[in-house]
Amino acid sequence: MANHSVGNDATARRALGVILLLAAPALAFGVWYSARGPLSTLAWFEQHRTPADSAAYASALYHASHARATEANRWHLTGYATVGLVGTLAGVCLILSGSSRRAA
């Protein structure tokens, strides 16, 4: 029979909660930040475009359309903002559940 104690389970929940609390918003910020690059590149190409830039412009337009789709879906079920928020809240709940004291 395994020797599990309530203290070890609470410590594991707190540790997982801290990991989620740090990782979820960091990853959501990373997705948000990575979508900014293609949009600014497209804006630059639209201002400085020459006839020889058609391949580069097409690439910038392609990547910017994906960045726009990512931004448009940020609050949908699997969007980065929704997943980041749910992960952060799950981390807070795990930290609080691991630190609550129960009478034996």
pLDDT in tens, 58-77: 899 999 999 999 999 999 99
Those residues with Cβ within 8 angstroms of residue 53's Cβ, 6 or more apart along the chain or in another chain: 45
Q: The pTM is what? A: 0.76
Q: What pLDDT band is residue 103 in, cutting at 50, 70 and 90? A: very low
**Domain extent listing, the chain:** 9-97
CA–CA separation, 100 and 42 (whole Å)? 51
